[in-house]
Amino acid sequence: MAPGTTPWARSGPCRRAVLAGGLTLPLAACAGPLTAQNEGENDPGLALSARAAQDSSALLARYDATAAAHPQLVAQLSPLRAQVFQHIKAFTVPGAPSPSVFVSASAPAVARQVPADQGQALAALAATEQRLADARTAALQEAPPGLACLLASVAAAGACHVLLLQDSA
């Protein structure tokens, strides 16, 4: 017998590897993203994800309008804006129309809504973030599990944005 071997040593994968592989495949399949190609038009997860992407796009337009009206806030708002942009990417369903298509028409209206006072502009942005975080939290009940995790995470990020914006106002 060769050193380091036992008479009962097996060739091939061990039981743990087979079980782990057998459990990983179904979990990976469940965690797959929604796509416009594999989900029906009436799928609530697909519709909720599209709505969340639209809402984030509108929020991004609000950040842009606030930064344009108050250039001195650009450095302060840039990291928050970058996170909102990442939220849009996370919610955008591959194969679906870009949410920016829905927001471009409303951009001038958003710009008119930015208060002239810098503190009020930050407070208005914080209020918008708070409303959106609350709406996302409420949507958790109807979201499929993967999307619910994403909605909860983005709602928590929005709540953090609210605190940062209120501290600056």
Read off the pLDDT band of 129 (50, 70, 90). Answer: very high
Give the tens place of pLDDT for each residue, 105-128.
Answer: 555 666 678 999 999 999 999 999
* Cα–Cα dist 45/34, whole Å: 8
Please tell me the number of Cα atoms within 13 Å of 95 on its side-chain side. 10
**Position 7 in a domain:** no
pTM: 0.71
Report the SS3 class of residue 33: coil
3-state secondary structure of 131: helix
- Across the chain, mean pLDDT equals 78
Q: Which domain does 110 fall in, by range?
A: 44-168
Domain membership of residue 94 (yes or no) is yes
102 closest CA partner among 69, 158, 154, 59? 59
Domains identified in the chain, total number: 1
Mean pLDDT, range 16-44, rounded to an integer: 43
**Does 123 reside within a domain?**
yes
Q: What is the mean pLDDT of residues 6-31?
A: 40
The pLDDT of residue 114 is: 95
* Pair of tokens at residue 35: 């796509």
In-domain check, residue 93: yes
- In this predicted structure, what is the pLDDT of residue 43? 76
* pLDDT surpasses 80 at 8: no
